[in-house]
Structure 1
Amino acid sequence: MNGLSELIDSLEVKFFKLNQKLIQLEKKNSELQEELLLSKKVQQQQAVDLTSFQNQLDTLKMVNSLLGSEENKRETKLKINSLIREIDYCIAQLSD
């Protein structure tokens, strides 16, 4: 009978330790999930910022070309020609 009591006590101690470990792991999991959500939000914001900066860079390149810079002159001419074609297309649509 004494051996059975010791076995039950041992099992209770092991169960308590496992339960404590489970609680710790659930807490850590929750913290990691919150950190992941925060990281995803930061990544989305950085993607938006990157797109905005890319647009600003393209605009600055065009302005720089218009001011006489030789570096981006070809790109600016192509963009202007594209805009002219779009305007011509719109005028043609309005004329019909």
Structure 2
Amino acid sequence: MSKIEDIVDALEHKISKILDKQAILKQTNEKLESQLKAQQQKLLEQQEEISAWVEKHDTLKIANSMLGSDENKRETKLKINALIRDIDHCIGQLSE
């Protein structure tokens, strides 16, 4: 009988160790998931900030072209032409 009791005790001890490890792994997993969500949110905010800066940069290029800078005149003309086409399209839709 003593052998069976030893085996049961050993199994209980191993199960206890496994349950402890599982609890630790669960906590670690929750912590990592929290960190992942925080990093994803930070990345999203950075992407939005980059988009805003790109838009500001493009606006400044156009403004510089309008002020007489020769560097971006072609881009400015193309942008103005695109805006005029959009306006014409909107006017066309309104008149229908």
CA RMSD of aligned residues (A): 1.9
Asked whether 1:51 is paired with 2:51, we answer yes
Corresponding residue for 1:33? 33
Corresponding residue for 1:9? 9
Unaligned runs of 5+ in 2: none
TM-score normalised by length of structure 2: 0.85
Larger deviation: 41-50 or 20-29? 41-50
The one-letter amino acid paired with 1:76 is T
Partners of 1:22 and 1:29 lie apart in 2 by 10
The one-letter amino acid paired with 2:16 is F
Name the % identity. 44
Change (3 A) 1:73 1:8: same
Q: Deviations over 1:21-66 (max 9, x none)?
A: 0000000110111111111111111121121111101101101111
TM-score normalised by length of structure 1: 0.85
